Amino acid sequence: MRFYSTTLIAGLAASSVDARSVNIENFDKRATPTIYLAGDSTTAKTGGLLMGWGEYLPPLLTGITVVNKAIAGRSARSYTNEGRFTKLANLVVAGDIVVIEFGHNDGGSPNSASDNGRSDCPGTGSEVCISGKTGDKVYTFNYYVETAAKAIIAKGASVIFSSQTPNNLWEGGTYGGYGTPVRFVGYAGQAARNLASTGKASFVDHYQAVANMYLKLGNTKTNSLCPSDHTHTSPEGADLVAKAFAQAVKIAMNGTTPLKGFLNAGNPTVF
């Protein structure tokens, strides 16, 4: 890296009198911070009829670069075991923000002989399960996301724990949203509380924001946004799910997050 910087400085020196004032150490620093998204297919760039909400976040923000690192099919466990959180922690610099949103693929039983490599150990603490398939240790959702967050925070970046999106709450024609959100919603809030003392962890209840939006949109519209199954949205749905996230950040629905200062003033109200 230094080789390239030095070469570049030499090039500048030939053409500009101010070149010697360029600080080589600052050369790799970006002008704007980056927000990385860690998640599953509901956040990821999927394709065809479907799209994840992360692809629609950039137009809602100014002064921050969005990098969507969500991958379809992942859980907090598999994202960890594939080394993706480690790579993220290596990438971030002070001032960056990482959104961690999992849950859709985190259910199920790791003890079963058909363990899919995604199910977390039940609980929110230091519980450990043994995979019925591989014999490997399996940890809780909170262990995975909080371990990742600590590594990210140690780099000077911030973490926003975001709860998973709800499924189509109008499936079957009746709104079923406010019964019991899936358990990973509460777990994500718990993660933020557990790391509150760092001053770099916050929570967005994306589930609640989208549930509120689906209630407002009604049966026909919501069903049209979920064209192929009850989990995944169309591009239009993804756009709205991103807007619900931005609105939850704007109103600090579950506390203030560092993303608030990067929201565009003209973002719409969707719930």
Ligand X SMILES: *[C@@H]1O[C@H](CO)[C@@H](O)[C@H](O)[C@H]1NC(C)=O
Q: Would you call 41 a catalytic residue per the annotation?
A: yes
Contact letters for ligand X, residues 133-172 (x by CB under 6 A): ----------------------------------------
* Binding residue (CB under 6 A) for ligand X from 166, 189, 237, 258: 189
Q: Would you call 104 a catalytic residue per the annotation?
A: no
* Binding residue (CB under 6 A) for ligand X from 80, 119, 208, 247: 208
Task: Report the distance separating Cα 177 and Cα 227, nearest Å.
Answer: 19
CA 147 vs. chain centroid, Å, equals 15
* Residue 181 CB-half CA count within 13 A: 19
**Residue 142 identity:** N
22's CB contacts (< 8 A; 6+ apart) are 9, 12
CB nearer ligand X, residue 69 or residue 206: 206
**Residue 12 identity:** L
CB nearer ligand X, residue 101 or residue 205: 205
Task: Report the distance separating Cα 180 and Cα 106, nearest Å.
Answer: 17
Residue of 41, 78, 131, 163 with catalytic role: 41
CB of 134 to ligand X, least distance (A): 33
**Position 101 contacts ligand X (CB under 6 A):** no
Residue 251 contacts residue 270 (beta carbons within 8 Å): no
CB of 103 to ligand X, least distance (A): 12
User: How would you class 127 by CB atoms within 10 Å of its CB: exposed for 0-12, middle for 13-18, buried for 19 or more?
Assistant: middle
Residue of 40, 119, 232, 239 with catalytic role: 232
Q: Would you call 230 a catalytic residue per the annotation?
A: no
CB nearer ligand X, residue 92 or residue 191: 191
Q: Which residues of this protein are in contact with ligand X, per CB under 6 A?
A: 185-186, 189, 205, 208, 253-254
